[in-house]
Amino acid sequence: MAKFEEDDDKPKGGGRKIAVPKIKIPSVAEIRSLVTGIRIPSVDLGIIAGGLAIATISAGAAVFGVRMYLPERKIQIVNNPKDVENAKTYNPQGMPTFTIGPNVNTTFVTHISHPRVHESAYVHPQATVLGAVEVVAKALVAPQASIRGDEGQGIRIGEASGVMDGAVIHGPPTEQGGIYLERNQVRMDGQSYSVFLGDRVTLAQQSQVYGPSSIGDDTYIGHQALVVRAEVGKRCVLEPRAAVFGVRIPDGHFVPAGVIVRNQTQADILPLITGDYPLRDINSQTVEVNVALAEGYNALYPRRSGEAGHDGHGGAAAGGAAEGHH
């Protein structure tokens, strides 16, 4: 306890001085010793933890209660007057039935093309299909896929082929001021394309094909695989994250995961798909699933002949044609 001591000296006014306390300030060592000596019983720790848990639960319940009693915010759907002209319609819930439409007139594309989607094919409402694109019978275009025939014109998605979630098909301009650029096109079946997908081809999630390129029948392009200005043969497999640039992959070969093929010598020595190859059946299994999905979604969301990019014969939507291949 601090002690008060009186000063015997008298002030000149005849009174006494006020006693001033003298306080002893503890040293750093004494403070450290005091702090480290504190011990909190385990019971008290349990009480503290339980209190924190109760407080957290109470806060969450309060937030949930507020959200329950707030008025529901409705989403406003704004329909563009040109949506019908551009082959986009809306269902009663306000969701677009198709996000497909023509390309725009630019310095490198001088004519307007509309996608052609066969009535037995299915394009998910969250996919994008623009310009000179042909989607053949029983094909499936999954959510977030992007097929852009607005620059590299003439893109074909073959019968029973699947373009999976996040996959991208695009190409450089195939025309400049009305003059077709052969260097940016591939020739298939007597016609020119920016990108040509054969029948029963699978582009797995997030894969990309950049023209001029062609993919042969029954070929599987794996997750995040990349094809740039290349020809991939029939019955091939590109494993995940494989990449091929400016080469031709022979029929029946595979590119191992992560391998980058940059010259034809590398392409010619790629391993052959044999009976013991683990992924030899991956494409046939995927095609079976995709065709079933296309049939199922078309049955769930039936469309009339000629509606939103569809007709009974794979014809043009909204009065146009999938031009660009000549």
- Average pLDDT per consecutive 10 residues, the chain (326 residues; last block may be shorter): 47 53 62 57 62 70 56 47 54 60 87 91 91 96 95 95 98 89 92 96 98 97 98 98 98 98 97 97 97 93 57 37 46
pTM above 0.75, yes or no: no
For the chain, how many structural domains are there in total?
1
Is 198 part of any domain? yes
**pLDDT at residue 76, rounded to an integer:** 45
DSSP letters for 60-102: HHHHHHHHHHSPPPPPPP---TTTTTTT--B-TTS-BS--EE-
**pLDDT at residue 26, rounded to an integer:** 63
Is 118 part of any domain? yes
How far does the chain reach from its first CA to its final CA, in angstroms? 104
Is 296 part of any domain? yes
DSSP letters for 220-252: EE-TT-EEES-EE-TT-EE-TT-EEES-EEPTT
Cis peptide before 173 (omega within 30 of 0): no
Q: Is 305 helix (H, G, I), strand (E, B) or coil?
A: coil
Q: What is the DSSP letter of 110?
A: -
**pLDDT at residue 48, rounded to an integer:** 65
Range of the domain at 172: 100-311
**pLDDT at residue 316, rounded to an integer:** 36
- What's the CATH code of the domain at 293? 2.160.10.10
Report whether 244 contacts 261 (CB < 8 A).
yes
Q: Is 205 exposed, middle or buried (0-12, 13-18, 19+ CB in 10 A)?
A: middle
Is 272 part of any domain? yes
Dig out the tokens for 319 from the structure: 């009065």
**pLDDT at residue 109, rounded to an integer:** 86
- Sheet strands side by side (includes 168-170): 100-101, 128-131, 146-149, 168-170, 208-210, 226-228, 243-245, 260-261
Dig out the tokens for 28 from the structure: 């750093």
Is 41 part of any domain? no
**pLDDT at residue 111, rounded to an integer:** 82
Is 19 part of any domain? no
Is 250 part of any domain? yes
Catalytic residue numbers?
151
Is 14 part of any domain? no
CA of residue 200 relative to chain centroid, distance: 23
Q: What is the DSSP letter of 272?
A: B
Report whether 250 contacts 232 (CB < 8 A).
no
